[in-house]
Amino acid sequence: MSRFAQVWRTSTVRLTATFIAIFIVFAILLMGFIGWQSSVQIQRQQTDDIDREIRLFQRIEANQGIRALAFAVNRLATQPGPGIYFLGDASGLYLLGNITDVPAEVVIEPGVYSFEYERPNPLGEEATGRQREGVAVVRSIELGNGMRLVVGRDVVERRGYSAIILQSFLVGVVGIILFSLIAGGITARRVLRRIDTIQHTSTKIMSGNLSERVPVTDRNDEFDALATNLNAMLDRIEQLLQGLKEVTDNVAHDLKTPLTRLRNQAEAALRDTATAETREMALETVIAESDRLIQTFNALLMIARAEAGAPSGALTEINVSDIVADVAELYGPVAEDAGIVVDTNVEPGVTLKANRELVGQAMVNLLENAVKYARPEDGSSGRISVELRREAGRVRIIVADNGAGIPEADRQRVLERFVRLEKSRSEPGSGLGLSLVNAVARLHGGSLRIEDNAPGVRAVIELPAG
């Protein structure tokens, strides 16, 4: 396929060609209309001049007599210009004027006529004897005394002007076509160059180079806006793929240990030397490890459901105050057994449109983390604070503790899946708690912030109240 055929198949070139064709047709019609109107206006002006002079001669003949009329006709006839004048007697014989031969029907029957004529050239008659030829449009009338008057205008100059208009029109049309083709070619070339850049970048990305980005210029046009959005999308895709890789690595790491323990316990229970007590302990361990695995997968499914925006059950109007108070009351005895005091400050009657199951699970995760890590390094008693309040159209749920806290550099990272700051991973947990809370907050149009409680951690869920 030729290069022209390839270019013509692109929507950009065909759209540009369509606009060029529309522009050319419109320009031709506009210029043709202007030329036609100019010719009509010139013709109308000549007709008005003829009618005006006819009325003038009629007033002169009626008020001042035939001598004054003859003087006026002779004076205008001797002046240079396109005027045509003929005054004849009642029989149509020439008396005076700048033409002598007028067709008989023009003199006999009053009306508007057009005919070819000859008249002496005022500037060269004596020197050359040449006659001026032309075409005249005239009006003939019969005066009150029976004399014949013919007044007209030479239309050769008008036709010459019309020819000039037509010539200018043709030159203009050719210029418009050439200019449109050049402008269209330049426009199509620039557009195709930008599209080729995007396609070239897409090819590199599809080949596996996810770090490639579409170039953005300083023009800030629609292609730059498209490139910016594409780059943002590519950044997000790269982040998701990197997160998927990290999740895969973390899942493999976190599931390998419990699966190994499951296998070892099952193998121990199958040994010939195993006692009934050993087999019973092995089965209990298998059940416990299985429960941990199920919890991990349930958390992953809940996070995926929340991030997909499709939680179990539709969003309904719920009383958040009751949910927060109930969860805090539920974990009160657990915290007390661990030597931790739980303080609650819940504003009553706070409602919003949300999913009860997910909001409750988010509160459970925050309190589990607080109970697990609310152990001051100085050995003093732990303290957990649970707050709920409405401020400026926002609902804030705050769970704070006075434990060791989270370094500032890790406060955003702990919101990712399977991230655990406890490197040895000896503590129970899967690193999905805060990730689930973050997903629930985003699902409801809110956010989760991890702040410094000096000492300890302050987790703030902020949700829209409307």
* 120 strand-pairing partners: 131
pLDDT at 82: 80
Higher pLDDT, 329 or 415: 329
Measured between alpha carbons, how far is 339 from 360 in angstroms, rounded to an integer?
Answer: 24
Q: For residue range 14-36, what is the model confidence (pLDDT) as tens digits? A: 777 787 788 778 877 887 787 78
Q: For residue range 78-118, what is the model confidence (pLDDT) as tens digits? A: 888 788 888 888 888 888 888 888 888 888 888 888 888 77
Measured between alpha carbons, how far is 448 from 466 in angstroms, rounded to an integer?
Answer: 18
Q: Which run of H or E residues covers position 55?
A: helix 11-64
124 has pLDDT over 50: no
Q: For residue range 221-270, what is the model confidence (pLDDT) as tens digits? A: 777 888 888 888 888 887 777 767 766 766 666 667 677 777 887 787 77
Measured between alpha carbons, how far is 200 from 189 in angstroms, rounded to an integer?
Answer: 16
Measured between alpha carbons, how far is 244 from 247 in angstroms, rounded to an integer?
Answer: 5
Res. 128 pLDDT band, cuts 50 70 90: very low
What's 404's DSSP letter?
A: S
Measured between alpha carbons, how far is 36 from 344 in angstroms, rounded to an integer?
Answer: 90
Q: For residue range 388-435, what is the model confidence (pLDDT) as tens digits? A: 998 888 899 999 988 887 887 777 777 776 666 654 444 555 667 788
Measured between alpha carbons, how far is 205 from 217 in angstroms, rounded to an integer?
Answer: 20
pLDDT at 300: 66
Res. 302 pLDDT band, cuts 50 70 90: low
Q: For residue range 439-454, what is the model confidence (pLDDT) as tens digits? A: 888 888 888 888 888 8
pLDDT at 215: 85
6 has pLDDT over 60: no
pLDDT at 376: 67
Quote the tokens at residue 286: 């298998």
Measured between alpha carbons, how far is 138 from 155 in angstroms, rounded to an integer?
Answer: 10
Burial, 153: exposed, middle or buried (Cβ in 10 Å; 0-12, 13-18, 19+)? buried
Measured between alpha carbons, how far is 444 from 325 in angstroms, rounded to an integer?
Answer: 20
306 has pLDDT over 60: yes
385 has pLDDT over 80: yes
Averaged pLDDT for residues 355-373:
84
Res. 213 pLDDT band, cuts 50 70 90: confident
Measured between alpha carbons, how far is 112 from 119 in angstroms, rounded to an integer?
Answer: 20
Higher pLDDT, 348 or 165: 348
| Domains (range + CATH), the chain | 65-154 (3.30.450.20), 213-310 (1.10.287.130), 316-464 (3.30.565.10)
1 has pLDDT over 50: no
Closest CA to 252 of 290, 287, 310, 296: 296
Measured between alpha carbons, how far is 307 from 276 in angstroms, rounded to an integer?
Answer: 47
Q: For residue range 222-236, what is the model confidence (pLDDT) as tens digits? A: 778 888 888 888 888
What's 156's DSSP letter?
A: H
Please identify which residue in the block is written with the tokens 């302050």: 458
- Mean pLDDT rounded to a whole number for the chain: 78
Q: At what angle do helices 320-337 and 356-373 cross, to 10 degrees?
A: 30
- Which residues in 83-225 belong to E strands, given as ranges? 83-88, 94-97, 111-120, 131-142, 148-154
311 has pLDDT over 70: no
438 has pLDDT over 80: yes
127 has pLDDT over 50: no
- CA angle at residue 460 from 454 to 464, to 5 degrees? 155
Measured between alpha carbons, how far is 112 from 152 in angstroms, rounded to an integer?
Answer: 9
pLDDT at 132: 63
pLDDT at 228: 87
pTM of the model: 0.47
> Do 273 and 410 meet the contact criterion of CB atoms below 8 Å apart?
no
Quote the tokens at residue 316: 């309904």
301 has pLDDT over 60: yes
> Do 372 and 433 meet the contact criterion of CB atoms below 8 Å apart?
no
Closest CA to 147 of 55, 63, 65: 65
**What is the signed CA dihedral for 388, 390, 393, 395, rounded to 10 degrees?**
10
Measured between alpha carbons, how far is 312 from 361 in angstroms, rounded to an integer?
Answer: 12
